[in-house]
Structure 1
Amino acid sequence: MDSITTQNAVVHFNSDVYSALNGYIKDTQPSIIFVLVDSNTHDYCLPKFLERLENGDITVEVMEMPDGEEHKTIDICSGVWGALSEYHADRKSLLINLGGGVVTDLGGFVASTYMRGISYINIPTSLLAMVDASVGGKTGVDLGALKNQVGVINEGEMVGIDTSFLDTLPQKEMVSGFAEMLKHGLIYSQSYWHTLTHLENLDLSDLDRLIHESVVIKNEVVTSDPTEQGLRKILNFGHTLGHAIESYFLEHPEKTALLHGEAIALGMILESYLSTKVCDLNPSELDEINEGILKTFTKVEITKQDQEHIIELLIHDKKNSHGVVKFVLLEAIGKPKIDCVVSNALILEAFEYYNR
């Protein structure tokens, strides 16, 4: 697969990943190479990665953080910053983030802020990180249960997507990443959406091509609006309600926490319903979206009490301004509209639709 040039970096795929990475190390000669992993990627991905890494005489230090969204916190950042300092990292050090979206988001933020910025490279190992989290330069951590409230936009030196790492991924994590691919179709390409919702016509050999297409879509959007002043907001479709739902389930221990993609899938159905009321999305397309998402994602029980608390969390969404909640909605599949204002009554209607 051809590499994809972003605004400030390049996304490499499979066999090109290690030649590009090792070439970068040879050319730049970092003072120390740090590899950030979580407890899963330490066991399942790190050995294979280190076999392919050509570091010469440069010291490699591995830093491990706990796995899971609940550890995407400033406290963990402090631990990583402290480890960098303890091992005498300087401004010529390189941080390689080997993991899913939590590792690439947090590691990118740590690198962007340590000594006011050191170089970093993302090697995503989950489908979610490959098609979304690792590309585009968004870094950050959660503030309590509130998603991605602290962070910066700062692209790394490169992204290396080695799809063989997906062999280590539980099925549930694969499904979670698939939600972001579905989103790319809904906001950008009706034909891509149609392909993803008819996977019975494809086999596993098509997965690399579909991942590549998702990265192309995300990169085209990000390149045209790197700091999210306008068009890049469309990447938040499903995320206004999806993030609020994810946060609500994270902060209530009696609930089973949802993976990011599970919450976003739910959010996309809800926001598609809102689209029929606010943007005249055709009800037949709403049915198509609902059916396409529920082919893959199991419905989640959202009680009336849950709904009220979820709506309260919407005020923390990063697209808001002047206290007004702003949604990305759809006029049609592949045709999004940004900065839509929706009443709470309509949101409750959307939950009623979903529960039916």
Structure 2
Amino acid sequence: MSKVYFKNIGFISSILSKTDFSKLFVLVDENTHKHCYPLITEHIGKHTIIQINSGEKNKTLESCTHIWNSLTEAQADRRSLLINLGGGVITDMGGFCAGTYKRGIKFINIPTTLLAQVDASVGAKTGIDFNGFKNHIGLFCNAEAVLIDSLFHESLDERQLKSGFAEMLKHGLIADLKHWNECLNQGYKTVDNQLIKKSVDIKKSVVEADPQEKGLRKILNFGHTIGHAIESHLLSSENELLHGEAIGNGMIAEAFLSFKKGFISSEDYMLIKGELSKLYDKPKIKKASFDELKGLCLQDKKNDNGKLNMSLLKTLGQATYDIEIDGILLESALNEVL
């Protein structure tokens, strides 16, 4: 498991001084190059920048080829080190490219969005989207270190903050009801390192108990089977959603399934729906698209032998996994958010 530091950005110099490497590379997109890179450049010494285009639509093999080519042209060897400076697309794809280049080079994550800080940068999952399927190609690969600094929030708009906030609320629903309430009380606009650390600690405890997602770790996917289907369906459309916006709706739908399966009460479901509906608008998807959404749900990595398995809430603050859902029930859940 990666060591996570909640420090100011200057601490990267201390991390690098304790890390053995031959050459240093920094992966950015056009946004993090402009807003975040200037905050780290004086702390990292000699390095080479690799830039990709931002956005989920660029989390592809083509972008990976650009990264691998850049490393190759700069004669990066197996002792090279890659710093992934950005949101979830950067940390997911940068980790994947580092893990596969010359069978693996070291990498450090500096997540710059709230979403990446509480989710994508921690837990060793790396990967890219493929043929329209979210995170379809990837591997488990730990970063040497993760450095989290809420200073980067100054570069985020309200929509980005709400997107990351969805994963924090999820952590509360699946593992710690007190954290859910603390998040709601504090609100997404004033999230601080202490609240971020609580979310990261929840995720780390689950990952450490099940690093390869054979069982318990699946609870982290609550809201994601339907959420990823919504996100993938709208990708590159005029109604494209941020990850957390899709997951917010996915949690409503999967909380509904938790109620229909008899795990939580109707009152609990309405509480969840009420709070999440205040934050995340319904996605603009025509109901004629139900079949495509169902097909995307069936591509979820938790499925087995063609059966649709989901992680649902057992109670508020506790989750369960590998719950089989049939097509009729899935359609009723989609009706809750579309």
TM-score, normalised on structure 1? 0.91
Q: Deviations over 1:236-281 (max 9, x none)?
A: 0000011111111116x3x411111111011000000011111431
Q: Tell me, which stretches of 5 or more residues in structure 1 are unaligned?
A: 1-6
Residue type at the aligned position of 2:276: I
- Name the counterpart of 1:238: 223
> 1:97, 1:104 within 8 Å by CA — same for their partners in 2?
yes
- What are the equivalent positions in structure 2 for 1:111-126 lying under 5 Å apart? 111-126=98-113
Q: In structure 2, how many angstroms separate the alpha carbons of the residues matched to 1:260 and 1:40?
A: 17
- Name the counterpart of 1:50: 41
- Name the counterpart of 1:4: none
- Name the counterpart of 2:246: 263
- Pick aligned residue for 2:21 from 25, 30, 36: 30
Q: In structure 1, how many angstroms separate the alpha carbons of the residues matched to 2:324 and 2:207?
A: 23
Q: Deviations over 1:145-202 (max 9, x none)?
A: 21000000111100000110110012111111111011001100111111222336x9
What do you get for the CA RMSD once the two structures are aligned?
A: 1.5
Q: In structure 1, how many angstroms separate the alpha carbons of the residues matched to 2:337 and 2:19?
A: 52
- Pick aligned residue for 2:7 from 9, 14, 36: 14
- Name the counterpart of 1:109: 96
Q: In structure 2, how many angstroms separate the alpha carbons of the residues matched to 1:279 and 1:108?
A: 39
- Pick aligned residue for 2:294 from 311, 319, 327: 311
- Pick aligned residue for 2:317 from 334, 337, 353: 334
Residue type at the aligned position of 2:292: H
- Pick aligned residue for 2:271 from 278, 288, 291: 288
Count of matched residue positions in the alignment of Structure 1 and Structure 2: 338
Distance change (3 Å), C-alpha of 1:241 and 1:203: closer
State the 1:29 CA deviation.
4.2
Alignment pair present for 1:181 and 2:159: no
Q: In structure 1, how many angstroms separate the alpha carbons of the residues matched to 2:166 and 2:15?
A: 33
Identity of aligned residues (%): 43
Q: Tell me, which stretches of 5 or more residues in structure 2 are unaligned?
A: none
Q: In structure 1, how many angstroms separate the alpha carbons of the residues matched to 2:318 and 2:166?
A: 18
> 1:279, 1:329 within 8 Å by CA — same for their partners in 2?
no
- Pick aligned residue for 1:273 from 226, 236, 256: 256
Q: Deviations over 1:56-112 (max 9, x none)?
A: xxx300010000000000111011000000000001110000000000000000000
Moved more, 313-322 or 221-230: 313-322
> 1:238, 1:264 within 8 Å by CA — same for their partners in 2?
yes
- Pick aligned residue for 2:197 from 193, 212, 215: 212
Residue type at the aligned position of 1:234: I
State the 1:203 CA deviation.
7.8
> 2:161, 2:189 within 8 Å by CA — same for their partners in 1?
no
- Name the counterpart of 1:128: 115
TM-score, normalised on structure 2? 0.96
State the 1:312 CA deviation.
1.6
Distance change (3 Å), C-alpha of 1:203 and 1:173: closer
Q: Deviations over 1:284-328 (max 9, x none)?
A: 000110011122112223322122210121121011111111100
Distance change (3 Å), C-alpha of 1:222 and 1:86: same
Residue type at the aligned position of 2:73: E
State the 1:24 CA deviation.
3.5
Residue type at the aligned position of 2:149: D
Q: In structure 1, how many angstroms separate the alpha carbons of the residues matched to 2:244 and 2:113?
A: 12
- Name the counterpart of 2:283: 300
